[in-house]
A and B are shown apart, each in its own frame.
Chain A
């Protein structure tokens, strides 16, 4: 074997799966490669004996079909497929060349040998979809500049609060809560002789103690999370963040060797990445005029760029941006109340859509509504009209443009007393018409931003109780969730749509993110979960067995990956001062990103398929 074949070697080194091999493995691999030239219309494999090979396209195009002859994807230069192979667990795909093609073939027993010899190569094949996506997620942030304020370069040990707040096992819940309050921390470690037994958070106190109506003398051991996941002081900040996202927790105990070192919280991580976040919020709270608010809001895009530079995931950016929009909304309401006088009856200002889900990015449009007390008298209605006008105009001036569908509190239809809202929801659930479904992404994703929480919460409970039992409504919501389908993958500079058609650009929002949000909403409605955030909905769905653990984990990773790609795309537009959009040119994606996106699409398509079977969507007229 001669190294003069450097071009072929380079080609292998640049493309999956061989890009997961170390340099020294490539020379021996090269010796096992066969080269074929296949005329247009040739079958791959040509015969059964050649199924157990990996086929890597060097030039040309290959269409892939499943065992039913349905088009699965289309391969171009640098794409590979394996028809049937024990070593990699592939079965059942066949290919047909759509152009004359030059292909490189690697026998499967060689792949098997390489898997045994090289861990990373092995992981590429053995990792389930979710693991590959998770790795990819870490990977896409590699391109981010390693500034000093970067979660990829800072270790958890450098981020944690020096004070370690802990109590001995057996301490009463009352004492533990007092300790937390004294030290103003949101979590507390439970130890016995210095060994970590568990962790207690504000949320545990709420869910496992107050709601259960336990005695103050209950030992903390009964309500703590026992044996929690830990990180080490040298764990990278970004990794800690990913782990929290995966587990759905906000606190992780930190170990230095065997010694307990402290607790890292999402707040620590976000505060670190967004030194300017709390500063923005403070300015918002101090603003006295709408003009001052506009000045502050103008820095929101810059804030988002900083977060992305800091290696934040899309989830945390969504949380951070939404919390600033929340602050803006609240301040606008306070300013309006100061101008108009106190409200005549209690009310709740609710946000819908991405703000409610805490998935907002700068320059989203605004969706909101007002839920008023039933005590409202007709002559008091104009107060809320003025309030809505001031707040919505203010938001628009701050860059959160008027909702094109007029789903805003300024619209009298969406500024109603509780009883009226109850009638709306009743009608939507009992007679789910297409018009109502269009609004579902707004009005089935609501969150109180300001005012009387109770006005909304009672309503929400009724809605969830009703929707959960109504199979016809759920079937319509399921059908709605299937209107946006992910593509099959990419072919050269095109996006390949499921019927074999091409799209020039990839609408990452409607073909990647919206399908997941819509699925998560159906799961939430079917399980009666009050969660609005998509990740929380998916976790709840797994907990309520509406979705398998694996399905939920895959979906969470798929969303994290797609949303982070989108964030990166939009951030580069923000950086260039260009208008922000959701259209990703396929050319901008690396071969590896294309591969991972394809995986993510598969996750979505699979879950859409099972949803359509579950609710027999095809049967709806």
Chain B
């Protein structure tokens, strides 16, 4: 029942409600900035592509190791806005994930503290549409962190390139294998260049490019509201 009501309210209305209860500081500043209107044409909006590297998939148990972030405006990715930060973990990094991400304990120790990272992210995401591939990870970790540090729910209008990719494949009635939806598999369908995988910034950039490719076809239409691409949150 609660979910039903929540759906009827717009994201911006929910943001207003959260704002009233939010503590002073980063969280409040974030919530004070209106979200882009989902009825706006998607070409006119500002986006931020984000990727997290984590020690695992469970936001309750696992830790954020690094993030990569890059902005997009007027359907152009601005490389000058690219940022990559390593985050000092609160626990030691499990051996198997260290191998994947190439982030060793001593390098991670040189990173920024977790609360600083979250503040940075809230500042950069304010007023933007989030682009992520399999956004559940990014949204999950951001939600858990905001709850823990600010006692607040985290909200953002989100485009998930995995879902858009899934739709793109289904529409073409192509045979879908599980692996087809991975970021790098989808990119090859659009002849996008091969970047080294598993670096948060390269992946954020890859995701932004994939979004451009997935929506390129719609750019010839007169009006396409952002909501056509939004993930339900």
**Chain A residues in contact with chain B, CB under 8 A?**
1-2, 4-5, 7-8, 11, 30-39, 58-60, 99-100, 102, 105
CB of B153, distance to nearest CB on chain A (Å): 30
Closest A residue to B79 by CB, please name it: A33
Separation of A521 and B201 alpha carbons in the complex (Å): 60
- The 10 A-B pairs with the shortest beta carbon distances in the complex, nearest first, are A37-B212, A31-B80, A35-B77, A2-B84, A34-B76, A4-B201, A33-B79, A39-B216, A4-B84, A37-B213
CB of A61, distance to nearest CB on chain B (Å): 10
Closest A residue to B68 by CB, please name it: A4
Separation of A203 and B76 alpha carbons in the complex (Å): 64
Closest A residue to B199 by CB, please name it: A4
**Chain B interface bracket (under 10, 10 to 19, 20 to 34, 35 or more):** 20 to 34
Inter-chain contacts of B219 with A (CB < 8 A): 39
Inter-chain contacts of B80 with A (CB < 8 A): 1, 30-33
The contact string, 1 if C-beta is below 8 Å from chain A, for chain B 51-92, is 000000000000000001000000111111011100000000
Inter-chain contacts of B82 with A (CB < 8 A): 1-2, 4-5
Which B residues from 153 to 170 make CB contacts under 8 A with A?
none
Separation of A5 and B195 alpha carbons in the complex (Å): 9
Given the known A-B contacts A58-B193, A100-B213, A102-B192, are A5 and B77 also in contact in the complex, defined by CB atoms under 8 Å?
no
CB of A58, distance to nearest CB on chain B (Å): 6
Closest A residue to B213 by CB, please name it: A37
Separation of A38 and B190 alpha carbons in the complex (Å): 11
Closest B residue to A34 by CB, please name it: B76
Inter-chain contacts of A7 with B (CB < 8 A): 193, 195-196, 202
Number of CB contacts from chain A to chain B under 8 A: 76
Asked if B209 is at the interface (CB within 8 A of a chain A CB), the reply is: yes
Inter-chain contact B192/A59, CB cutoff 8 Å: yes
Inter-chain contacts of B77 with A (CB < 8 A): 34-36
Q: Which one, A11, A35, A39, contacts B217 given CB within 8 A?
A: A39
Inter-chain contacts of B132 with A (CB < 8 A): none
Q: Which one, A2, A35, A37, contacts B83 given CB within 8 A?
A: A2
Kindly list 5 other residue pairs between chains A and B, CB separation below 8 angstroms, not including A1-B79, A33-B80. A4-B202, A7-B202, A31-B79, A39-B216, A39-B220
Separation of A31 and B220 alpha carbons in the complex (Å): 29
Main SS at interface, chain B: mixed
Asked if B21 is at the interface (CB within 8 A of a chain A CB), the reply is: no
Asked if B191 is at the interface (CB within 8 A of a chain A CB), the reply is: yes
Inter-chain contacts of B216 with A (CB < 8 A): 37-39, 100
CB of B172, distance to nearest CB on chain A (Å): 15
Separation of A42 and B171 alpha carbons in the complex (Å): 23
Which B residues from 183 to 204 make CB contacts under 8 A with A?
190-193, 195-196, 199, 201-202
Inter-chain contacts of B213 with A (CB < 8 A): 37, 100, 102
Separation of A33 and B75 alpha carbons in the complex (Å): 13
Asked if B22 is at the interface (CB within 8 A of a chain A CB), the reply is: no
CB of B199, distance to nearest CB on chain A (Å): 5
CB of A569, distance to nearest CB on chain B (Å): 31
Closest B residue to A103 by CB, please name it: B76
Closest B residue to A32 by CB, please name it: B80
Given the known A-B contacts A4-B202, A5-B201, A60-B191, are A102 and B79 also in contact in the complex, defined by CB atoms under 8 Å?
no
Separation of A100 and B76 alpha carbons in the complex (Å): 15
Asked if B126 is at the interface (CB within 8 A of a chain A CB), the reply is: no
Inter-chain contact A34/B79, CB cutoff 8 Å: yes
Asked if B205 is at the interface (CB within 8 A of a chain A CB), the reply is: yes
Q: Which one, A1, A33, A36, A58, contacts B212 given CB within 8 A?
A: A36
Which B residues from 132 to 162 make CB contacts under 8 A with A?
none
Separation of A8 and B82 alpha carbons in the complex (Å): 12
Separation of A240 and B80 alpha carbons in the complex (Å): 46
Inter-chain contact A35/B202, CB cutoff 8 Å: no
Inter-chain contact B75/A100, CB cutoff 8 Å: no
Separation of A477 and B178 alpha carbons in the complex (Å): 68
Inter-chain contacts of B205 with A (CB < 8 A): 5, 35
CB of A103, distance to nearest CB on chain B (Å): 10
CB of A98, distance to nearest CB on chain B (Å): 13
Enumerate 13 A-B pairs (CB-CB under 8 Å) in ascending A order: A4-B202, A32-B80, A33-B80, A35-B76, A35-B79, A37-B212, A59-B191, A59-B193, A60-B191, A100-B213, A100-B216, A102-B192, A102-B209
Interface-centre pick from A1, A31, A34 (highest chain B CB count, 10 A): A34
Closest A residue to B83 by CB, please name it: A2
Inter-chain contact B76/A102, CB cutoff 8 Å: no
Inter-chain contacts of B196 with A (CB < 8 A): 7
Separation of A88 and B80 alpha carbons in the complex (Å): 23
Inter-chain contacts of A36 with B (CB < 8 A): 75-77, 212
CB of B220, distance to nearest CB on chain A (Å): 7
Separation of A11 and B208 alpha carbons in the complex (Å): 19
Separation of A60 and B216 alpha carbons in the complex (Å): 14
Separation of A36 and B220 alpha carbons in the complex (Å): 15
CB of B3, distance to nearest CB on chain A (Å): 36
CB of A105, distance to nearest CB on chain B (Å): 7
Interface-centre pick from A1, A33, A35, A58 (highest chain B CB count, 10 A): A35
Separation of A11 and B193 alpha carbons in the complex (Å): 11
Inter-chain contacts of A38 with B (CB < 8 A): 216
CB of A9, distance to nearest CB on chain B (Å): 10
Inter-chain contacts of A5 with B (CB < 8 A): 79, 82, 201-202, 205
Q: Which one, A1, A32, A102, contacts B193 given CB within 8 A?
A: A102
CB of B101, distance to nearest CB on chain A (Å): 12
Closest A residue to B190 by CB, please name it: A100
Closest B residue to A41 by CB, please name it: B220
Separation of A241 and B216 alpha carbons in the complex (Å): 54
